[in-house]
Amino acid sequence: MLLSVLVCALWEAAGPIPYAGVNLAGAEFGQVAPRRLGTFGRDYTYPTAQEVAHFVSRGMNLFRIPFRWERLQPQLNRPFDREESARLQAIVRAATSAGAVAVLDPHNYARYYGKTIGDPEVPVSAFADLWRRLAREFGSNPKVWFGLMNEPHDMPTESWLRAANAALEAIRSAGAKNLVLVPGNHWSGAHSWTTSDNARWMAQVRDPGRNFAYEVHQYLDRDSSGTHAEVVSPTVGAERLAAFTEWCRKRGAKAFLGETAVPATEEGRVAIRNLLLHLRQNADVWLGFAWWAAGPWWGDYMFSLEPKDGRDRPQMEYLREFLRPGKG
């Protein structure tokens, strides 16, 4: 009964969110170590053009593409591995050729072979070098967005700010004008942004190109980790985003929700609709979202949007009213 009342209370004309999509995972799978990067097709994989086509046909227009920094650039300040670079280029080409945005996502948590950016082994200049090279490869395509790093954590936030600003300078010095997504520290959680030192330090992001948005992640379980098959309440998503939304608005800043998801339950359906209504109602701040996740190796993962036995997962229906009419 309560859920029915909430559904009625929240009902309004939602309409599509400008950028709505999914993380196409697989290239970040598996462990890495010096001289042990894993084998493509056994330890990790890349999403396919067929998956892009499927989600475009459902109305999605953005794909966040996680990959491992170490596989792309096995040695700091050195050229990219040719085969890995070709794999990344292929999925980016598939997404952008379909008219969608491709978000590059070094899925490394501000680490490289386990060492934190800013440590002597991984100087900030090496992180800037990664982004200078990526900007040179992908900067000519405005449909490619640059997600600086997945979920920095357990490091001084001022150190992460220094690395982010160095990467922004490197991207712009390479001539790239692409939109850049800048995460915060502390796993870049929206719920903790204004109660952590992200609010202080990340207000000091400096983009010479003046074309960036803050990337945050938000899950709806008890600790915002996305590791529990639960939803705290039907309104928890909007509640956890609210303070961050206002923080951005006061600064004239844009935001992007790089990861969110719910299980296939009635509570999940109501809660994700409430969260996405918050994005829609605050479109002066929010560019859009990417669901976590799809990709060929997820199996029965509770949040997977990957079709199973030729059929969409239940959560695909939860998103439908926020997507544009599909092309398929």
Q: Are 3 and 234 in contact (CB under 8 A)?
A: yes
One-letter identity of residue 27: A
Q: Which of 70, 84, 259, 306 is catalytic?
A: 259
51 is catalytic: no
Q: b/e per residue, 118-157, with b = 16+ CB within 10 A?
A: beeebbbebbbbbbbbbbebbbeeebbbbbbbbbbbebeb
Within the chain, how many helices (H) and strands (E) appear?
Answer: 10, 10
Q: Which of 28, 151, 215, 306 is catalytic?
A: 151
Q: What DSSP state is assigned to residue 26? A: S
Phi, psi of 268 (to 5 degrees): -65, -40
Q: How many CB atoms lie within 10 A of CB 316?
A: 20
306 is catalytic: no
Q: Which residues are catalytic?
A: 151, 259
